[in-house]
Structure 1
Amino acid sequence: MRTTGDRIRQAVSFEALGLLISVPLAAVVFGYSLEKTGVLGLIGATLATTWNYIFNLGFDRTLKRLTGSTRKSLKLRFLHAFSFELGLLVAFLPIIAWWMGIGLVDALLVDISFALFYLVYAFIFTWCYDTIFPDTDATASPVQ
């Protein structure tokens, strides 16, 4: 299992890099100001960082209990990324609508766009992170 310090490093680096990429991209794609999109990004990053820590801790504990290891197969990586983003999507939707002053349908489009971006980003980031900073518990064969 990863240490608390390692989990914090992972969550903070994930969100910082994600913000640097997603905020300017969202401002251009949706036509919102960089400032308004930037604040939304910071709100989302704070929410996501908290969710990241809680979700990854629970996912790893469950995986270790069920398989004896935290090693993730390709299928588990997809499940991990998808379930993380689904939980965040539900929590972030009302915040987007409120902050941007838009209806829930428009907020859902913004939210889904962020989720799709972060779904791909989370998959790539966590794979790279696990390669650069391997989890010592991830030595057993992955569950298929």
Structure 2
Amino acid sequence: MRTVKDRIRHTLAFQLMGLITFAPLASWVFGFELHLMGTIAIVGSVTATIWNFIYNVWFDHALLKWRRDIHKTVRLRLIHALLFEVGLLCLLLPFIAWYLNITLWAAFKMDITMATFYLLYAFVYNLIYDKVYPIPQSAQLVS
């Protein structure tokens, strides 16, 4: 298991590198100025972080209430991930449309693209992070 210090480093580096990568790429792909996409990226990052905390607490409480167990099967993990993304979409969609003065449909397409980027980015980032900062053998034995 990773330490709290390691989790903090993981989270901060993930967010910082994601912002540095996403904003210029999104600016190029969507044709908006870098500062506009940077703002979208920062608001999205902060919103996702806060939503992640709230959502996971809520989801675990709901599991305890309905199942009296917080163990997540593969099916539950898929439902968990899908509901998280739907919630984040609902939170970000109005902001993106308003801030960029675009339609909700255009904001929806942009949001789906952002979610896809971060899904792929998270996969690659975590693979690299695990190579650069492997879990110590002693921590792997604890279960």
Matched, 1:39 2:44: no
Alignment correspondent of 2:16? 16
Query: Matches of residues 66-85 of structure 1 in structure 2 within 5 Å?
Result: 66=71, 79=78, 84-85=84-85
Unaligned runs of 5+ in 1: 68-74
Cα distance, 1:53 vs structure 2: 4.6
Cα distance, 1:46 vs structure 2: 1.4
Alignment correspondent of 2:26? 26
Letter in 2 for 1:122: A
Higher relative contact order (CA 8 A, sep 6+): 1
Unaligned runs of 5+ in 2: 64-68
Relative distance call for 1:104 and 1:48 in structure 2 (3 A) is same
Whether contact under 8 Å (2:14, 2:125) holds in the other structure is yes
Relative distance call for 1:120 and 1:57 in structure 2 (3 A) is farther
Relative distance call for 1:52 and 1:4 in structure 2 (3 A) is farther
Cα distance, 1:83 vs structure 2: 5.5
**Partner SS, residue 71 of structure 2:** helix
Matched, 1:89 2:94: no
Whether contact under 8 Å (1:19, 1:41) holds in the other structure is yes
Relative distance call for 1:27 and 1:57 in structure 2 (3 A) is same
Deviations 1:41-77 (A, max 9, x none): 1111211232345556788998x9527xxxxxxx69x
Cα distance, 1:95 vs structure 2: 1.3
Cα distance, 1:8 vs structure 2: 3.0
Q: Give me the whole-angstrom Cα distance separating, in 2, the residues matched to 1:100 and 1:134.
A: 42
Whether contact under 8 Å (1:11, 1:52) holds in the other structure is no
RMSD across aligned positions (CA): 3.7
Cα distance, 1:5 vs structure 2: 4.0
Q: Give me the whole-angstrom Cα distance separating, in 1, the residues matched to 2:117 and 2:3.
A: 28
